Amino acid sequence: MFPKSEVTATDFVYSLNIILMTFQQILETQIKNAVENLYGAKLESVELQPTRKDFEGDITAVVFPMLRVVKGNPVQIGEAIGNYLVENVSEIEKFNVVQGFLNIVLSDSYYLNFFNSVVDFSSFGKGDQNGKAVMVEYSSPNTNKPLHLGHVRNVLLGYSVAEIEKAAGKKVYKTQIINDRGIHICKSMLAWEKFGNGETPDSTDLKGDKLVGNYYVKFDKEYKKQIEALKAEGKTEEEAKVQAPLLKEAQQMLLKWEAGDEETVALWNKMNGWVYKGFEETYKSIGVDFDFYYYESDTYLLGKDIIEEGIKKDVFFMKDDGSVWCDLTEDGLDEKLVLRSDGTAVYMTQDIGTAVQRVKDHPDVGGMIYTVGNEQDYHFKVLFLILKKLGYSWAKNLFHLSYGMVDLPSGKMKSREGTVVDADDLIAQMTDTARTISEELGKIDDFSKEEKEQLYRMIGLGALKYYILKVDPKKRILFNPEESVDFQGNTGSFIQYTYARIQSILRKANENENVMLSLSKQITSDIILQPKEKELIKIIQQYPETIQLAAENYSPALIANYTYDLVKEFNSFYQNVPILATDNETEKAFRVKISRAVGEIIKSAFALLGIEVPERM
């Protein structure tokens, strides 16, 4: 890390940040020094990358870009720079050159100094809070039906991104906007009023959101019957859809709600109350939470005053019929309606107003992340562009966390027809799948019934969350419950099982007084690392950078797949290197420490994904 003439290996006293963040910078500086000293030329930058698995080395410097300022054979240039680095940088043990790639091998002391420098691997990689807060919106359900599989991907993504942003050093507000008004809500209300016979969640022993969702389905069935009857009378399908008495009644109910009709508002409050209670039960079951709630019934009138200001600033223009638009054609989009000719708002108006209101409510917010399906990609392009044109400084920090839909082997889901996969039913199914597979393996016979059920739920939920989060958000998912609960391969269950294995190692180590005494001491720098130990430490080192990359890319998949790589490497280490079976107490303590560090990082990474890990499995 420093020239050998200045610091010896035994003098290294590094802060963790220096080890993780500065070594690459110092290596770049030393390579620039080498080029200047050897060739009298100046490099503007140095391209570094991890060494490919099939070559010896830890870090590779790419020589080819240097040929712009250094003329000669890339292999010879690499050899000359490599010799300079070995002489001047104490952590560099040796090197090899393959074509134009200088593969650098770091010394054991570098990795041991890093490992000794980490006081607590459970908090390793987490950044200190800095800068403006970010608000993450997710879930945002309608109050006419329960949460379903599509909501599950939304909720898991939003929650995980919020946790990753926090780990990366941001202050985070988790929020949702609940769509609690509109014709779809009135459909459930009307169906309950007509066909419900006064039943309640208590009288039916149904969750409130499930009960209300049943009446949304009921409305659709009765509405379709009326359409068919009108068609039999000679009406066209379009005429029948518009003239069906049930739809007209729902439209009248919406007008009454908007006019503040006491009876209608009371029914709306009662049924929404049932739904909110049901949602909270599901959120608790999934293991997610929120800091603030917004309701469309409060926000649907927001934004109209902003439109008026925007007209004065020439951001918007009014057409002859009185409607207001934003011309985005020069930005490659189209003209966007922001206010109807009768003065009523559209969704865009509401979203503009809600974004501005959120910053008013939380002045420290400097950006927002909207977790919404990819069918709304265009809407958010327009929203963000309009907010920028209106001059809001935070508008440059808005991001649409767009994601693909989730399908099942049985096909698409439709809320109106009642063919959705209810989130609660899905959780129960995942728990049952975990129960079946775990009982077949027969490794938990000594667990109590309560311990077993807790474990099944942990495995089932972990499998569901990992299966969804390991995939890049933009990709569509075909979710197979049985495939997700597998104790081999890239699954949550496999990673949970590895964590439980590590805890078993630690419990056994805890029974050995000599090991426990050695664990309290730092590992001496003269220990010789096994290749598997070095590889494991190299992956451990990548965790802080992985958190930052995941935060920058809003991608839990980077955390998920990093954790899988870490677990694969640990299992290879476990199978090839004796941990408690070695007679050397220093080696034994070191390997137990590595195991404990891996376990703590697995737990930390899985917490960012909202996944629990079992102590026994």
**Residue 4, pLDDT score:** 31
- Among residues 579, 550, 574, 566, which one has the least CA distance to residue 157? 550
Superfamily for the 425-608 domain: Isoleucyl-tRNA Synthetase; Domain 1 (1.10.730.10)
Q: What pTM was estimated for this model as a whole?
A: 0.89
Instruction: Name, in order, each residue with C-beta under 8 angstroms of 326's C-beta and a sequence gap of 6 or more.
Output: 310, 315, 316, 317, 335, 336, 338, 382, 386, 389
Q: What is the pLDDT of residues 435-475, one digit of tens each?
A: 988 887 767 778 889 999 999 999 999 999 999 999 999 99
Could you say which residues of the chain have pLDDT below 50?
1-21, 412-418
CA 243 to chain centre: 45
**Residue 13, pLDDT score:** 31
Q: What is the pLDDT of residues 499-513, one digit of tens each?
A: 999 999 999 998 877
**Residue 343, pLDDT score:** 87
3-state secondary structure 420-457: CCEHHHHHHHHHHHHHHHHHHHCCCCCCCHHHHHHHHH
What is the rounded distance in angstroms from the CA atom of residue 436 to the CA atom of residue 440?
A: 6
Percent of the chain with pLDDT over 90: 77
Helices and strands, number each (H, E), in the chain: 24, 14
Tokens (6 digits) for 579: 């941990």
Superfamily for the 9-106 domain: Arginyl tRNA synthetase N-terminal domain (3.30.1360.70)
Element (H, E) at 178: strand 172-178
**Residue 518, pLDDT score:** 66
**Residue 391, pLDDT score:** 96
Q: Give domain limits for the chain.
A: 9-106, 182-274, 304-344, 425-608
**Residue 511, pLDDT score:** 83
Which long-range contacts link 220-229 to residues 24+ away (Cβ below 8 Å)? 220/187, 220/416, 220/417, 222/191, 222/194, 222/195, 222/246, 223/187, 223/247
- H-type helices in 470-542, by residue range? 481-484, 492-510, 513-519, 531-541
